Amino acid sequence: VGFYFVFILGLDWRIGAFHFEDVLLDYDVAMNYGNWVVVSEVDKSSRGAHGFTTVEDLAAWKMEEFEWKLSAEKKNDPTGEYLRRWLPELQKLDAKHIHEPWAMSEELMTRCGCVLGRDYPMPLGGPFRMREEVSEEEERRLHPNDSSGNRYTYKEFIDFAMKRGYDANFGKKCWEEAQPIARTLQEENQQLRQQLQAA
């Protein structure tokens, strides 16, 4: 919740901590505020040095990490038992859709009695994807000044810039200068894998 609140919605962590203070059943001041500080990376020396000027850029930088967190939750609760207990709106959803109700068709939403925007909120900051399903499709680019031939994701370009003391705009510039891997190259790679497995 905290990661989504801070890095995807771009909200001040203290608002979340204040809200949790009011609604947590097992509230503890040290645990609540301590967890919010850690999750929102207030304790990191690079906090605020990322150089993002918009919430959208910050969210794009953290999106992959957030989607991995969603995937981990799905693995921890594959049947959705925990979600059904605390989110009665999702009671009738099958395990396939309980972790991502936004992926259901409108017909299925109606049948389950869980229409997004009416019975359950639309996701803010999405659409989100489960990482185990898209890791092969993540766009990667090759920078013309990188002689290694390695290809990197948008987040990896941003992380590269920040590790070298630059702000996120430098990483974004590198991403824009880099050449996307042709879709046909990815398809050829997949085809070669299939041939090797068949052999």
Q: Which two tokens stand for residue 132?
A: 């185990």
pTM over 0.75: no
> What does the H/E/C string look like for 128-183?
CCCHHHHHHHCCCEECCCCCCCCCECHHHHHHHHHHCCCCHHHHHHHHHHCEECCH
Report which listed range, 41-55, 58-72, 89-103, 144-158, is most confident. 89-103
Print burial letters for 117-134: b (CB count within 10 Å at least 16), e (below 16): eeebeeeebeebbbbeee
Flag the least confident range among 80-84, 134-138, 170-174.
134-138
Res 129 pLDDT > 80: no
Flag the least confident range among 26-40, 45-59, 91-105, 120-134.
45-59
User: Strand pairing partners for 152?
Assistant: 141
Structural contact between residues 40 and 1, judged by C-beta atoms closer than 8 angstroms: no
pLDDT at residue 106 in the model = 92
